[in-house]
Amino acid sequence: MTTARKTKPTATGRQKKLIHWGAGKLGLDEDAYQGLLWGVTGRTSTLEITPTQAAAVLAEIERRMREKGLPIPWKGGRKRRPKAAWSPDWLQVFPVSVLVGGRPVDSASWKQREIIRDRWLVLGQRGYYKEGQEQAALDGFLMKRFDVPSMNHLARSVAKGVVKTMMEMTER
């Protein structure tokens, strides 16, 4: 008869990766790193610690990073792309995630948005819309042709059609 041996759960791969990454950012050598682990968990390796202990180590690393004035990327929000100097503010729209059935659906990609923005500005130079009416004209264009009220609501699949149409319009 064999008996099942119970083992303690170990820290997740993500936790281990963050611990090693944080120790590197703090500039800890091997001895200091093991001292940190020993001081918090009583162990010298991330292979031997539980998820709860890993969370405590990460909290200590965060504390030390704050003391040194270092950013803590796993605590911060998503980094946003800076606005381009040449682009009107109204065209700089960050992707909007929509929940459908509890699952996030991504909006148009950055590349698609850039192409749409660039092509729209080219169309403006050709007199497709009146100067100063960029936003209203783009919203009207998207609503009339694609039944989308604005760039905020542009889904990735619809953006493919918008890009194709704008490419054709600017190549004429």
Provide the domain limits for residue 154: 89-171
What pLDDT score was predicted for residue 104?
40
**38 and 101 belong to one structural domain:** no
What pLDDT score was predicted for residue 85?
46
What pLDDT score was predicted for residue 82?
53
Residues forming beta bridges with residue 16, ordered by sequence position:
none
- 28 found inside a domain: yes
- 83 found inside a domain: no
What pLDDT score was predicted for residue 164?
92
Dist CA 146 CA 143 (whole Å): 6
What pLDDT score was predicted for residue 102?
40
Positive or negative CA dihedral for 121, 126, 131, 135?
negative
What pLDDT score was predicted for residue 11?
81
pLDDT, averaged in runs of 10, over the chain (172 residues): 65 87 88 89 87 89 87 64 49 46 59 87 87 85 87 83 90 80
For the chain, the first-to-last Cα distance in angstroms comes to: 80
**57 and 130 belong to one structural domain:** no
